[in-house]
Amino acid sequence: MSQKQWIAGINAVTAAIEHDADNVREVLIEAGAKNPRLTEIEGSARRFGIDVRRVNQQALAGVVGNLRHQGVVARYAAAKTWSEDELEELVAAAEGRALILLLDGVQDPHNLGACLRSAAAAGATAVIIPKDKSVQVNATVRKTSAGAADSVPVVPVTNLARTMRDLQQLGVWLYGLAGEAEASLYAIDLRGNVGLVLGGEGDGLRRLTRENCDQLVNIPMPGGDGGGVESLNVSVATGVTLFEAVRQRIAG
């Protein structure tokens, strides 16, 4: 069985059962484990009609390898993602206040999981990732996101630049994070239909992605290198950027 078909850990399995029970095929729980949260997971899974088995620790390790399982794993039918065709509906449903995160080639599953967690906490409308040259929503991403991978729409797209142009046609203003940009993130109005575009580890935004942004902005860092986004981890920059939008929206 491919490890990508399994999710591991208390938070990841709990979230999968709560948000996407139809795609959870089986739950394996460590026999003899005393953690009350495992008992809660077992009860929740059985209420949804999901098969539950008690197995020894070696069996759990054999299923998920090096993933830290905390005494529970679940077999998942498929990663829950949204279609490109659904983006227009998602933007329309936001009624002029869409908040979209576009990630240009994040490679590290832990970074993507952390970005999804911030996006869910910020109430993001959707997270867009390229289908190629980017990590997809796998077991590690699900675990790191602590359930966010199942609660915020994740939209893998074939051509990121084309999707950006489509969003602009829908009235979404796209801001790309770049260290050399002159405009500060904090000077930009982020209260309407907004797409926040961040690059992957190392190379940042690709050329075509930059060219399709309406404006490039930086995160001011008085103690850094003059505003270079590259000096921040992409998941940290994502959190800073999303919650500046949240702050503005709460304030007015």
CATH number reported for the structural domain that contains residue 227 in this entry: 3.40.1280.10
User: 141 and 247 in one domain?
Assistant: yes
Is pLDDT above 80 for 215? yes
Structure tokens at 42: 């077992």
CB atoms within 10 A of CB 44: 17
Per the structure, the count of domains in the chain is 2
User: 114 and 194 in one domain?
Assistant: yes
Residue 223 confidence (pLDDT)? 72
What is the per-residue pLDDT across 108-132, written as a single tens digit (0 to 9) for each?
999 999 999 999 999 999 999 999 9
Is pLDDT above 50 for 58? yes
Cα separation of 208 and 26, whole Å?
43
- Report yes or no: 204 and 233 within 8 Å, Cβ to Cβ: no
Separation in Å, CA 154 to CA 63, 116, 183, 205, 233: 26, 8, 29, 19, 21
User: 153 and 109 in one domain?
Assistant: yes
> Residues annotated as binding site for S-adenosyl-L-methionine?
199, 219, 232
> Residues annotated as binding site?
199, 219, 232
Which range, of 18-27, 34-43, 81-90, 233-242, averages the lowest pLDDT? 18-27
User: 148 and 59 in one domain?
Assistant: no
Mean pLDDT on 156-171: 97
Give 85 or 179, the one with higher predicted confidence: 85
Is pLDDT above 60 for 228? no
Residue 78 confidence (pLDDT)? 62
Which of these three, 41, 76, 111, is where a domain ends? 76
pTM, two decimal places: 0.76
User: 147 and 32 in one domain?
Assistant: no
**Mean pLDDT, rounded, of the chain:** 90
User: 62 and 93 in one domain?
Assistant: no
CATH number reported for the structural domain that contains residue 43 in this entry: 3.30.1330.30
Residue 150 confidence (pLDDT)? 78
Give 203 or 238, the one with higher predicted confidence: 238
Is pLDDT above 50 for 1? no
User: 174 and 99 in one domain?
Assistant: yes
Cα separation of 49 and 25, whole Å?
9
Q: With cut-offs at 50, 70 and 90, classify the pLDDT of residue 77.
A: confident
Which range marks the domain in which residue 12 is found?
Answer: 3-76
User: 66 and 111 in one domain?
Assistant: no
User: 246 and 134 in one domain?
Assistant: yes
User: 201 and 180 in one domain?
Assistant: yes
User: 242 and 208 in one domain?
Assistant: yes
Which of these three, 44, 76, 108, is where a domain ends? 76
User: 109 and 24 in one domain?
Assistant: no
3-state helix, strand, coil in the chain (%, to 5): 45, 20, 35
Residue 21 confidence (pLDDT)? 83
Which of these three, 76, 98, 113, is where a domain ends? 76
Residue 224 confidence (pLDDT)? 60
